[in-house]
Amino acid sequence: MDKRSAPQKMPYGEYKKVWESLVPLRIEMVEKNEECVHRLGDRFYYGNPYKKPAGVCNALQHVLDLYTWRSELGFPSWEEDDRGVFRIHCPDKKGTVWELRRVTPEEYEEALRMSGDDPTDEKKLGF
């Protein structure tokens, strides 16, 4: 299915295949300019753009929401050194910078295992 095509009637099985083709996303703090509850190097994972990670402050989540589908669908970012990453500044004028990028399902599942979550749980995987 061409993701740019106009919406059409689709059997549930095909719809499910589209969801299963989505890749996980990762955000990672790469710059910290003043006080923040998050630490440099903190990572959070999305199962998909609708399956948001717990623990991300609401202000940052609001900004990230503008870019998760762009990243998911493979739109190139404005970053000349790496078009696969979106560097997003939190709303605080002296706050943090986060990298948003697509990752492999294996990286996502490993992150879930490390956090103690069950990587085979479809709810955790966002399906």
pLDDT in tens, 24-59: 999 999 999 988 889 999 999 999 898 899 899 899
Q: What is the pLDDT of residues 76-103, one digit of tens each?
A: 999 999 999 999 999 988 889 999 999 9
Asked whether the predicted pLDDT for residue 124 surpasses 70, the reply is: no
Asked whether the predicted pLDDT for residue 126 surpasses 50, the reply is: no
Residue type, 58: N
Of 68 and 126, more confident: 68
Q: How many residues does the chain have?
A: 127
* Residue pair 124/111 in contact by the 8 Å Cβ criterion: no
Q: What is the largest CA-CA distance in the chain?
A: 50
Sign of CA dihedral 96, 46, 124, 43: negative
Domain boundaries, the chain: 25-125
**74's torsion region: left (phi>0), alpha (psi -120 to 50) or beta?**
left
* pLDDT value, residue 3: 62
Q: What is the pTM of this model?
A: 0.80
Count Cα atoms within 13 angstroms, Cβ side, for 102. Answer: 16
Residue 30: phi, psi to the nearest 5?
Answer: -115, -10
